[in-house]
Structure 1
Amino acid sequence: MQDPAPESPTTGEGSGAGSKGGLPAPAPGSTPGVSAPEVESTEPTPSPAEEKDVFGVTMLYPSKEGGESWFMAEDPTKDARFDPQTKITLNTDGSWKMKSNQVRMSVFTSASLKAFQIPTYDREVLAEQGYMQSPSDWKNVEMTGYVKLNAVSDVKDNFDWYARGGRHSDSVPCEGSSYKGALHYDGRVRWQKETWHVSYEQAPYKPAVSALKGRWVGLKAIIRNVEVDGAEAVRLELWVDDSADKVSWKKVYDMVDAGDWGGDASECDGLTDAMPITWGGPIAVFRWDSAKDVDFKWMSVREIQP
């Protein structure tokens, strides 16, 4: 994976040239010497609901009543809650085209991102209150997007759907927490945990689908809090619609972060280094690198029942 994109004044992901602790941070695409402990979920897999979203795409988990939601507008260039950070253009089939090797398309909650409303990045405080900026932060979410990879310079790179933080920049490293659900261009999948920017831990790769170039594919990243042994943990699921027919979703990754997976949260006043990211954040992001031509459509972020 390429280094993160240069910092934007409001939503950009920082260069990652250094780390908060003064030591070189592992590159987002690297594999650390110690594999992440993978805890398979014992919860039942949901049966795909009959309910569809505004695009006709199957929703796997029910939306939270009165919760946050965002659906890609007919003209996303006029949506104040959506910041692609780079020019996008409309295709003849109604999808949209992005031509950039470093993409960070941000989706804000209805409260938007206002840095002065984030009084602390103390991990114990965030875990206790359940959010970073406001109660409407993206926390238990189902993120959906369909993409078509038209041109790629590194087939080992990937699409990333991520949430549970704010801006990712070197100037505010503790704001850049996230769980990143990755679908690689060669068809592999995995989860990554970014306790702060830039501090990565990677779960093991799993095979999921065939290579992506030249075809549409749907990706869902589901992040939600669960209870493990009486403590709050985070369940992480990746689903792929390899047929791109809106309904043929297959679960390709399912793990739980119960506080024993990587971390370094003490850099941001965490009680333990490996504490799970149980709080919400004001920004959810659709990200990819090393792909200078990608079409996208039917994107959404929904708050789901925990």
Structure 2
Amino acid sequence: MPTTAPRSRPGPDRAPASGRRALLGMTVLALAATTVLTAAAAGPAAAAAATPIGNDVDGVAMMYPTKAGGQEWRLDGNPAADDRLDGPALKRNPDGTFKVTQADTRLGVLSATYDHDDEDDLVWSQPTLRTVGYQHDASDWRDVELTGYVRLNKTSDTDEEFTWYARGARHTGTGDTPQTCWGTAYKANLRYRDGATRWQKELFHDGGDGYASGSWQHSGASVQGKLVGFKAVMFNTPAGVRMETYLDRSNTNTWTAVASYDDQGGWAIDEDNRCGGTRDEVVRWGGPIATLRWDLASDVDVTRLSVREIDPRATCNRAQPVAGVSANTYEAVNPPQNAVDGNLTTRWSGYGFGAYLTVDLGTRRTICGAGVAWHRGNLRWNDYTIYTSVDNVTYVKAWEGRSSGTTLQPEVTGFPARQARYVKYAWWNNAEGNGWASITEVTALSA
């Protein structure tokens, strides 16, 4: 029989019992730091100061390290001679920025191995893409950080937006296969009139069809008439795709983590998927073109544009020492100490929706990720949330989602770095629906 230990609330936004996702259908939770995008509209994520890992060659903060041997592209002083950059003419301004006067602009950045002559050979069937992982080749843009500073000088519609996107090829308007299926993407939007952001998923390109859209969040001041930095980050996780947006509203290289999202299925388009995939297909493959786009803006200045292939786990890989561990419920034969003993054959088991394990790191540390290994993790998925706290009183959500259900090894999830002493792992359900949370090992990770 399980033992009930003294409880401390896992944070003011702890999911209520009425929100049981696997028993009652997937429910979208409004998260403090991460939103799982599913069929319903997602709640806003909290904006917070970002913790960069360093600056790039242009002096712009990088949120994640460049992948070892990975691709990098940056706008240099002679864009007309850049054979990897597609788009309208860029004219240098006296202040070093570049002016673009084409109202509907697409600046396409080709991968290092791609040429438009290869277009007819692109993989477009989404069931095939799930297996091969790319449309053109292994050099496709997939796990990327797209950055650009933009100054909107003139627009005919302030409801339009800047859009940074990747994981597809050329977006055409034909609606016919295979062309329509080249146009897959995750798209980060920055609205002109109020600086609000959102994410969209595009499963095929045919005008406005093929889209699933999140809600606009974190509106504020207009971006018109000033240089604003905008970043879009996307990378694969064990359970889906992570998306993050960042803003530098003051042009001082001071970035805010505006929102984080995870697409783990359930975030669906309204129509049938014309490319053989599901309506809620998760775009886990790469594409040969990353794009910086805007519409109905006939005078825009740009600078410090870049696209980098990133390794989100490259520097967040140091397990932190544990000073103590507790749980709100556990079996006497499977106590919480088993989850931090370094042994994947022992486990903590607690019964009930909302069972949680709390690790005390002993002192405040900067953590940027966590690892969880599950009992029977190769046979069933688990829905869970990771919370952090500096005082064991107020907790905020760092990550929420579902394990892969395919491995007994620890599955690592990354999140924006933050100060924490306590890390709480709260369980909601598993594929078997048996009411038991069973974790063999947990770790908190720092750079």
TM-score class normalised by the smaller sequence:
0.7 to 0.9
One-letter code aligned to 2:167: R
- Provide the rounded CA distance (Å) in 1 between the counterparts of 2:40 and 2:95: 41
Structure 1 runs of 4+ aligned residues shifted over 4 Å read: 34-37
Q: Does 1:121 align with 2:124?
A: yes
Deviations 1:107-135 (A, max 9, x none): 001012321331x3111111211111000
1:281 to 287, 293, 315: 287
- Provide the rounded CA distance (Å) in 1 between the counterparts of 2:64 and 2:272: 30
The aligned counterpart of 2:99 is 97
User: How is 1:23-42 mapped onto 2 (pairs within 5 angstroms)?
Assistant: 36-38=40-42
User: How is 1:44-123 mapped onto 2 (pairs within 5 angstroms)?
Assistant: 47-49=51-53, 51-84=54-87, 86-113=88-115, 114-118=118-122, 120-123=123-126
- Provide the rounded CA distance (Å) in 1 between the counterparts of 2:141 and 2:41: 25
User: How is 1:197-276 mapped onto 2 (pairs within 5 angstroms)?
Assistant: 197-198=205-206, 199-228=210-239, 233-246=240-253, 248-263=254-269, 266-270=273-277, 272-276=278-282
The answer to whether the Cα contact below 8 Å between 2:44 and 2:218 also exists between their aligned partners in 1 is no
The answer to whether the Cα contact below 8 Å between 1:196 and 1:265 also exists between their aligned partners in 2 is no
- Provide the rounded CA distance (Å) in 1 between the counterparts of 2:216 and 2:43: 14
Gaps of 5+ in 2: 1-37, 313-447
SS at match of 2:287: coil
The aligned counterpart of 1:173 is 180
SS at match of 1:174: helix
The aligned counterpart of 1:18 is none
The answer to whether the Cα contact below 8 Å between 2:44 and 2:217 also exists between their aligned partners in 1 is no
Deviations 1:234-277 (A, max 9, x none): 1111100011122x11011211111110135742111x220110
Gaps of 5+ in 1: 1-33
Deviations 1:111-164 (A, max 9, x none): 12321331x311111121111100000000000000000011111100000000
Residues 213 and 46 (structure 1), Cα distance of their counterparts in 2 relative to 1, 3 Å cut: closer
The answer to whether the Cα contact below 8 Å between 2:203 and 2:273 also exists between their aligned partners in 1 is no
The answer to whether the Cα contact below 8 Å between 1:209 and 1:242 also exists between their aligned partners in 2 is no
Residues 157 and 35 (structure 1), Cα distance of their counterparts in 2 relative to 1, 3 Å cut: farther
- C-alpha RMSD of the superposition: 2.0
One-letter code aligned to 1:109: S
TM-aligned CA deviation for residue 78 of structure 1: 0.7
- Provide the rounded CA distance (Å) in 2 between the counterparts of 1:286 and 1:103: 8
Deviations 1:34-81 (A, max 9, x none): 97443889xxx97311x2111000100011101111011111111000
The aligned counterpart of 2:310 is 304
One-letter code aligned to 1:249: W
- Provide the rounded CA distance (Å) in 1 between the counterparts of 2:64 and 2:150: 21
SS at match of 2:274: helix
The aligned counterpart of 1:295 is 301
The aligned counterpart of 1:196 is 204
The answer to whether the Cα contact below 8 Å between 1:39 and 1:256 also exists between their aligned partners in 2 is no
- Provide the rounded CA distance (Å) in 1 between the counterparts of 2:155 and 2:274: 36
The answer to whether the Cα contact below 8 Å between 2:150 and 2:302 also exists between their aligned partners in 1 is yes
- Provide the rounded CA distance (Å) in 1 between the counterparts of 2:213 and 2:252: 30
- Provide the rounded CA distance (Å) in 1 between the counterparts of 2:92 and 2:204: 35
TM-aligned CA deviation for residue 291 of structure 1: 0.9
Higher strand share: 2
One-letter code aligned to 1:193: K
The answer to whether the Cα contact below 8 Å between 1:35 and 1:204 also exists between their aligned partners in 2 is no
Larger relative contact order (Cα-Cα within 8 Å, sequence gap ≥ 6): 1
The answer to whether the Cα contact below 8 Å between 1:69 and 1:303 also exists between their aligned partners in 2 is yes
Q: Does 1:139 align with 2:142?
A: yes
- Provide the rounded CA distance (Å) in 1 between the counterparts of 2:182 and 2:137: 14
TM-score if structure 2 supplies the norm length? 0.56
The answer to whether the Cα contact below 8 Å between 2:39 and 2:267 also exists between their aligned partners in 1 is no
One-letter code aligned to 2:52: P
The aligned counterpart of 1:21 is none
Which has the larger displacement, 137-146 or 171-180? Answer: 171-180
- Provide the rounded CA distance (Å) in 1 between the counterparts of 2:77 and 2:66: 22
The aligned counterpart of 1:11 is none
How many positions carry a matched residue from both structures? 262
One-letter code aligned to 1:282: P
Larger radius of gyration: 2
The answer to whether the Cα contact below 8 Å between 1:48 and 1:60 also exists between their aligned partners in 2 is yes
One-letter code aligned to 1:66: G
The answer to whether the Cα contact below 8 Å between 1:188 and 1:205 also exists between their aligned partners in 2 is yes
